[in-house]
Amino acid sequence: MKTKFFALALATGLFLNSCSSSDDPTPAPQPATGEITGPITANKTYALGNYTLKGIVKINEGVTVTFEAGSTITIDKATGDNALVVLKGAKLITKGTADKPVVFTEKSKVPGSWGGIIMYGDAPVKVAGGGSTSTSEDGNNTSYGGTNPTHNGGSLVYTRVEYAGSKLADGQKENNGFTFYSVGSGTTLDHLVAYKGADDGFEFFGGTVSMTNAISYGNYDDSFDWQDGWQGQANTNWYAYQVDKGNYGMEIEASSNNNAFFPKVTNITLKRAAGTVTEEQKEIQLDAIQFKKEGNGDYSNIVIDGYVSQTSPTAFNGGVLQILDKVTYDHQVAGGKIKLNNVKITNSPITFISGQATFTLSAASFVPATNWSTSTTATGATLTPGAWATVDGVNLIK
């Protein structure tokens, strides 16, 4: 009897073990693949995958396009002009994470190989001549500017754009890693990387959007640039590293309109590697921060390093802060609308540079004294490393 009971128990156990093995998790799904072309006329979610983007892909008004975390979108400059364009009224959502960013890259890994991400909105702008609208210079010849400060163009989170800066069609200049035309404050821009583009890392043409936790690395023109009355108020943790080629760390202008827009950025790091030359190697563009054409704003907790004179092919006077024109000096500096506080300066022997002989720029120019202050304890941008900020094994914020 006992023998039969043992045999039955043994058989039952084997059966149970056999059942449990069938409950093992199924293998993880393989990343999706596919080609992305435009225009995109209906809502679309791209699952985790490896995609190719071909052509100037426009997301139409009323359409939302989503990319899941960890997706890689590859462009090939051999196919012609390529860019991802978010038209006014459309939304782009990238659901990247620190470990699984959404990455837009280019096959050849050559700066200037595609047009990057371009977004349009209908937030207010103030363009040259004081107008409230203008036409884009990106080759799309699209009108921008409006009356909706809370425009929402989507959510770009933990997203990297590599090797952008291509001139598209009959555009007047190269494009950037990220280009924002009259984008509004309802849009989320957080943990973004513009890597080795042939123009600016990030450029704002008016609008009210703010950007947090941003890296501009190895871009040939300016790391951060804006015009047309951009007035973002909640910007923080901007990190720029200029290497090989680069112009300004930050180029700040307001399209020659005296204004009180006063954009605000806290926690800024601007670094320039030794031996870095200007984009064209002939322009005096070695300054960490340049204000021109009525640009202004409030900037604090800033670290500036490595902006020194270069000797090839012509000696350039690199420095920390340049006011290019006397109008900007008279209206913005003397008017108390440029504030830079808690500034830590290293390896940058020239602090103030006047763009014209008609005025002298110095610490005394910033009256009251609270408009300019230096510090030895400023921390600049505080960012957490991870896959989102690593390219080809290199930590961009080491």
Instruction: Say if pTM beats, i.e. exceeds, 0.85.
Output: yes
* CA 27 to each of CA 19, 47, 70, 207, 311: distance values in angstroms, whole numbers, following the listed order: 18, 17, 18, 46, 59
- Tell me the pLDDT of the chain averaged across its residues: 90
Q: Looking at the domain assignment, is residue 198 inside a domain?
A: yes
Residue range 312-344, pLDDT digits in tens: 545 566 789 999 999 999 999 999 999 999 999
Residue 6 has a pLDDT of 40
Residue at a domain's end among 206, 231, 256: 231
pLDDT at 12 over 50: no
Q: Is the dihedral of CA 257, 258, 262, 266 positive or negative?
A: positive
Residue at a domain's end among 231, 246, 263: 231
pLDDT at 2 over 50: no
Residue 378: give the domain boundaries: 233-385
Residue range 52-68, pLDDT digits in tens: 999 999 999 999 999 99
Are residues 242 and 109 part of one domain?
Answer: no
Residue range 75-110, pLDDT digits in tens: 999 999 999 999 999 999 999 999 999 999 999 999
d(CA 151, CA 208): 9
Residue range 25-38, pLDDT digits in tens: 677 778 899 999 99
Are residues 210 and 154 part of one domain?
Answer: yes
Are residues 246 and 223 part of one domain?
Answer: no
Residue 316 has a pLDDT of 60
Are residues 375 and 242 part of one domain?
Answer: yes
> What backbone phi and psi angles, to 5 degrees, belong to 321?
-135, 125
d(CA 72, CA 181): 25
Residue 8 has a pLDDT of 41
How many domains are there within the chain?
2
Contact at 8 Å (CB) between 108 and 165?
no
Are residues 283 and 193 part of one domain?
Answer: no
Q: Looking at the domain assignment, is residue 76 inside a domain?
A: yes
Are residues 299 and 207 part of one domain?
Answer: no
d(CA 114, CA 311): 32
Residue 76 has a pLDDT of 97
Residue at a domain's end among 188, 213, 231: 231
Percent of the chain with pLDDT over 70: 89
Q: Looking at the domain assignment, is residue 398 inside a domain?
A: no
Q: pLDDT confidence of 170, banded at 50, 70, 90?
A: confident
> What backbone phi and psi angles, to 5 degrees, belong to 228?
60, 30
d(CA 59, CA 44): 10
Are residues 251 and 224 part of one domain?
Answer: no
Q: pLDDT confidence of 261, banded at 50, 70, 90?
A: confident
Contact at 8 Å (CB) between 184 and 152?
yes
Are residues 215 and 270 part of one domain?
Answer: no
Query: H or E segment at 8?
Result: helix 2-21
